[in-house]
Structure 1
Amino acid sequence: MRLHLITVGDPRLAYARAGWDEYERRLRRYHKVQVTRVAGKTRTQESEAVARAAGRAPLVLLDPRGRQFTSEGLSAYLDAQALGGIGELAFVVGGPEGHTDELRASAHGLWSLSQLTLPHDLAMVVMAEALYRAATISAGEPYHRGG
């Protein structure tokens, strides 16, 4: 499956850039990965840029109203999407103001990383690591050590 990771902006903090780079690199062993950084001065502009970047790919927006997954649940979700014929999913980390209602309504799904509010940079790293962990679970590899 192709994973299109769309973020509003780049990770700014050194730890986040390093974490993003590491997990993006690891994720590429399991999926075709495309990364797109978008910008906008308003939430509407950001959401429009996200929609353009995603093209026809179904959107999975990181959003506090979304579904929370266990690592195994995320792995099963990705496997089910692939088995259902979805060849690409676009995962989106929005800007500080979140997504517009219009973008949210058009999304294939909403994913909440946590009930906590995470800084933008950290949300990017957590998303990339969670997708990598899900891929290793699907592949039956030992990275994931659930209990």
Structure 2
Amino acid sequence: MRLHLITVGEPKLAYARAGWDEYEKRLRRYHKLTVTRVAGKTQALESEAIRRAAGKTPLILLDPRGQQFTSEGLAAYLDGQGVGGTGELAFAIGGPEGHTDELRAGAYALWSLGTLTLPHDLAMVVLAEALYRAATISAGEPYHRG
């Protein structure tokens, strides 16, 4: 499956940069991966940049209003998208103000990492790790032991 990860900016803190780099590298073993960093000084500009970056690819926004998944549930969801969908998904983390209502309305799906508010850098690492964990579950590998 092709995955496109879209973020506003990139991890700034050393721990987050190291975590992102590690899970991005691991994730590339399972998926064709594209990473796009967008900029914007306002929520509207960030959301527009995300929309443009995703293009026609189904866009899943990380948003607190979205569906929550277990790791196994995420693996099953991604497997289903790979078989019955386009074979390509874009995931986007917005900036500090989140996504605009307009971008949310046009999204393919909304995904919530949980009810906690996470710093942007940490959310980026959690996204990459969750996708990697789902990939290892689908591959029947022992990384996930939950």
Bucket of the pairwise TM-score, normalised by the shorter protein: over 0.9
- SS of aligned partner of 1:78: helix
Consecutive unaligned residues of structure 1, counting only runs of 5 or more, are none
Alignment of 1:49-128 (within 5 A): 49-128=49-128
Amino acid in structure 1 at the alignment position of 2:47: S
2:40 corresponds to 1:40: yes
Kindly tell me the number of residue pairs found equivalent between the two proteins: 146
Match of 2:143 in 1: 143
Q: Percent identity?
A: 82
2:30 corresponds to 1:23: no
- Superposition TM-score, scaled by structure 1 size: 0.98
Cα-Cα RMSD: 0.5
Residues of 1 paired with 2:84 and 2:105: CA distance?
21
Post-superposition shift, 1:114? 1.1
- Superposition TM-score, scaled by structure 2 size: 0.99
| Large movers: runs of 4+ above 3 Å | none
Residues of 1 paired with 2:34 and 2:81: CA distance?
18
Residues of 1 paired with 2:59 and 2:131: CA distance?
15
Consecutive unaligned residues of structure 2, counting only runs of 5 or more, are none
Deviations 1:60-119 (A, max 9, x none): 000000000000000000000111132210000100000000100000100000110000
2:40 corresponds to 1:2: no
2:131 corresponds to 1:131: yes
